[in-house]
Chain A
Amino acid sequence: MTLMSLPEMARCLRTSRALQRYLDGEADDLTAARIAEHLETCRRCGLQARTYQAIKEALRAGSRDVDDLALRRLHAFSRSLADTDDAG
């Protein structure tokens, strides 16, 4: 097992704290740039990032199909609200 230097450990800790925000696109530009740079060089954090990214993708893949008919009904309902009022 390779020993990490203190600055390396600090970078891993900072990455770990902000990783989810980064993956969700909620990190500010500076943080995002720092994390992206760190993930390219740190195997451990890179693996962590890939795992959470895969979890996000699996959740999206497993998402329910939205019922098109229900959506169409809701759009029609939405339009009818305005139309009814328009008619007087």
Chain B
Amino acid sequence: MIDDAATTPDPGRRTSAAAFARYVEPEVPVLYRVALTMAGQPADAEDLVQDTLVRAYRAIDRFDGAHPRAWLLTILRNTHRNRARTRIPALLHDDEQSAGFLDRGGDARSAEDIVVDAQFEAVVADALAALPAMHRTVVQLVDVDGLTYAEAALALGVPRGTVMSRLHRARARIRTRLVAAGLVPHRSRP
């Protein structure tokens, strides 16, 4: 009888590796975007994703294959919380990121349109930077990182309703800034 065990990897491990490749690897870009929002600094975000991947790999045998993104976001949130306990909380320094974005692809818009768009985007960016951190984070997770309400709720460890109310308030504040800047009409008349 040939002893395959000496020459072939453990089938259980191969299954884990296959599950990891199938469920986890496609989610790496989303994890990195969310980590950037939560950690603030790119280097911290990369470390956070690496720690998350290690934890996910260790737990992949117990994962049932349903909703991999939700499962990974929960691991990311717990990993972030554990890392945050061991260090001084860092403030989000995203003013530069918010301000330096005017380089957009060219199209057939007029120069005037481009200027108005740039003003609009600049006011939105300023308003985003001025939001309380917990509101800004929700906006970034949903509008920038493209998470659903349920996914953002998992990433933050808050109920879905909290995500919705924070988003609502945050966008209303952004809108108020746009009204003040004269870029959006005050309450329009019916």
Contacts and interface: CB of A to CB of B under 8 A. Distances in A.
B184 A51 contact: yes
A4 B188 CA distance: 13
Contact of A52 (B49, B121, B171, B188): B171
A52 B14 CA distance: 48
Contact of B13 (A67, A71, A85): A85
Given A44-B190, A59-B128, A60-B144, A81 B57 contact: yes
Nearest to B54: A81
Contacts of B124: 55, 58-59, 62
A56 B124 CA distance: 9
A77 B6 CA distance: 27
A30 interface: no
Bin chain B's interface residue count: 35 or more
B28 A75 contact: yes
Contact of A43 (B148, B149, B175, B188): B188
Contacts of B45: 70
Contacts of B149: 21, 24, 26
A6 interface: no
B106 to A, nearest CB: 13
Given A63-B144, A64-B97, A85-B17, A2 B190 contact: yes
A79 B25 contact: yes
Contacts of B142: 24
A66 B33 contact: yes
Nearest to A64: B97
B143 A60 contact: yes
Given A59-B143, A66-B33, A88 B9 contact: yes
B65 to A, nearest CB: 16
B156 interface: no
B171 A26 contact: no
Contacts of B159: none
B145 to A, nearest CB: 8
27 contacts: A2-B190, A4-B190, A20-B168, A21-B149, A21-B164, A26-B149, A43-B188, A43-B190, A44-B190, A51-B175, A55-B174, A58-B121, A61-B101, A62-B124, A62-B128, A64-B97, A66-B32, A66-B36, A74-B46, A75-B25, A78-B28, A81-B54, A82-B21, A85-B13, A85-B57, A86-B14, A86-B17
What are the 6 closest A-B residue pairs judged by CB atoms, nearest first?
A: A82-B17, A58-B124, A59-B143, A62-B101, A63-B144, A58-B121
